[in-house]
Chain A
Amino acid sequence: MKRREVFKIGIRELQNYSHQNFDKGFTELEEDQQGAVLKDFAEDKAKLSTISASGFFNLLRSVTLEGLYSDPLYGGNVDMDGWRMRNYPGNQMSYKDIIEKDFQEIEPTSLQDHM
């Protein structure tokens, strides 16, 4: 299956599972309930007949991280706050001046600055 096909099914199953257990859609759940649903997927406690629940969870987790830390070019990491949170300066052309030095805080820049 292609990733988008896994996603299509996975999101639907997430919704079904939320309805079965909490009588509400996933997005309408309380945060701890959402966490419980995701945990059941991660640990394969949610039994799906179509795809692997934990496989879908892992995919969802990695794309979430990708959205958080990839260049804002892709629509995530808004205002480079994902990078700022980790003191990561994003796209810089050179670190020759600081390679030998202790930690330096640098204002992040993105690929947009190239254009």
Chain B
Amino acid sequence: MAKKLPKVDVVIAGVGWAGGIIAAELTKKGLNVVGLERGEERNTEDYYMVHDELRYAIRGELFQDLSKETLTFRSNQKMRALPMRQYGSFLMGSGLGGAGVHWNGQLFRFLPYDFEIRSKTIERYGENKIPADMSIQDWGITYDELEPYFDKFEKMAGISGEENPLGGKRSDKYPTGPMLHSPQMKLFKKATENMKLHPYTVPSANLSEPYENPDGISRAACEYCSFCERFGCEYGAKADPVVTVIPVAKKTGKFDLRTHSWVRRVLHKGGKATGVLYTDVTTGEEIEQPADVVVLTSYVFNNVKILLNSNVSRPYDVSTGKGVVGKNYAYQVIKGASTGYFKDQKFNNFVGAGALGTRYDH
């Protein structure tokens, strides 16, 4: 029998970027929020010895521990799904801040086209361009509708950048200027400008200068130490939930953060969520947390797992195209790499930041 706790306004399953932002915004409005995080608590002080490639980059200190919990994969339904035992492409997070701690910090806005990818494609190329079995859809929300929130996020995180010449309309400039340019970036910029393209500095969550955000959170500037993705930032220069939104939620006194708390199911009655059932992983005890609002913010994989275990909606069936839970998962893949060799020039290739680069859209 699960222990039942007093009801709260909001319960959040997973305290990374999404959970952290929601916790900060709702507690600021006066709501009582419980944040349940299956992993451990983290602080900037934890990264005193972070320049350790073996521990963090290779062994994946900050990732979900695949020896305890993993995913299974198959390319089609006829195959036997096999567990992922080693990290390859995507790096699932766990612990306070989630994957938002070990990210690189490249923060592009979607282009207006991205939000209406189906209708814009049809508009330009006709209905036949989209194969019948392709489930591509418009987002149901446009760039203009989301623009104020892009702006708000950029100011909260202190995004450093310059305007994308071909990007959507901005209500304001980036809160901090672009990152410094390495010689490699200068070469790229010059070459693409000569080609009449429109290069710009990658928008970066690694601060280009010290910054205080509208919530009064002050952070130091990036030191270009090059330990970003797979690492936590020892300077707090890289925006992550632990150094931005979570302290804001905590400061209100209305955020009850419980780590090592693993949400298993959403409880519901008459088609309405009433709370969650979670396990205290330090003791194995099952606990029920009733709430008016239940928020699932534990990334797609775990959200889907919780929803399926909760029996709240129809699982997506790939053979019929029916059902919604687990449908349309898409992973971002940036493909294409080229390497340049320069006869008379040598670069500091060990220097950089996770979001240090120049690019162009076209």
Q: Identify the A interface with B (CB < 8 A).
A: 66, 69-71, 73-74, 87-96, 98-104, 111, 114
Interface residues on B, range: 20 to 34
Minimum CB distance partner of A94 in chain B: B223
Q: Is the CB of B348 within 8 A of A94?
A: no
Q: Inside 8 A of A73's CB, which chain B residues have their CB?
A: 52
Whether A101 contacts B53 in the complex (CB less than 8 A), given A92-B225, A93-B223, comes out as: no
B residues 30-60 touching A (CB-CB < 8 Å): 48-49, 51-54, 58
- The chain B residue sitting closest to A97, CB to CB, is B224
User: B interface vs A, CB < 8 Å?
Assistant: 48-49, 51-54, 58, 180-183, 222-226, 345-348, 350-352
Interface centre among A70, A90, A95, A101 (most CB of B within 10 A): A95
Q: How far is the CA of A110 from the CA of B190 in the complex (A)?
A: 36
Tell me the bound Cα distance from A70 to B49 in angstroms.
Answer: 13
Residues of B within 8 A of A89 (CB): 350
11 A-B pairs besides A95-B351, A111-B49 with CB distance below 8 A are A69-B53, A70-B58, A71-B51, A87-B350, A90-B51, A91-B51, A95-B223, A100-B181, A102-B183, A103-B345, A103-B347
Contact at B224–A96, with CB atoms within 8 Å? Answer: yes
A101-B348 CB under 8 A given contacts A71-B52, A71-B54, A92-B225? yes
A53 to B304, CA, bound (A): 38
Report yes or no: B52 in contact with A111, Cβ–Cβ below 8 A.
yes
Interface of A is mostly: loop
Residues of A within 8 A of B58 (CB): 66, 70
- A100: which B residues are within 8 A, CB to CB? 180-183
A-B contact pairs, 8 of them (CB 8 A): A69-B53, A90-B51, A92-B51, A96-B180, A96-B222, A96-B223, A103-B345, A111-B51
Q: A71-B53, A94-B225 are in contact. Are A103 and B181 (CB under 8 A)?
A: no
Q: How far is the CA of A89 from the CA of B351 in the complex (A)?
A: 10
A74: chain B residues within 8 A (beta carbon)? 54
A20 to B225, CA, bound (A): 50
B183: A residues at CB distance < 8 A: 100-102
Q: Which residues of B are found within 8 Å of A94, using beta-carbon distances?
A: 223-225
Q: Which B residues are in CB contact (< 8 Å) with A66? A: 54, 58
Across-interface contacts of A71 in B (CB, < 8 A): 51-54
User: Hey, which chain B residues are within 8 Å of A95, CB to CB?
Assistant: 223-226, 348, 350-352
In contact, B347 and A102 (Cβ under 8 angstroms):
yes
CB distance from B1 to the nearest CB of A (A): 37
Smallest distance from the beta carbon of B345 to chain A beta carbons, Å? 7
The CA-CA distance from A71 to B51 in the complex, in Å, is 9
B190 → chain A closest CB, angstroms = 15
Contact of B54 among A70, A98, A103, A104 (CB under 8 A): A70
Asked whether A93 lies within 8 Å of B350 as measured between CB atoms, the reply is: no
Check if B223 sits within 8 Å of A98, measured CB to CB.
Answer: no
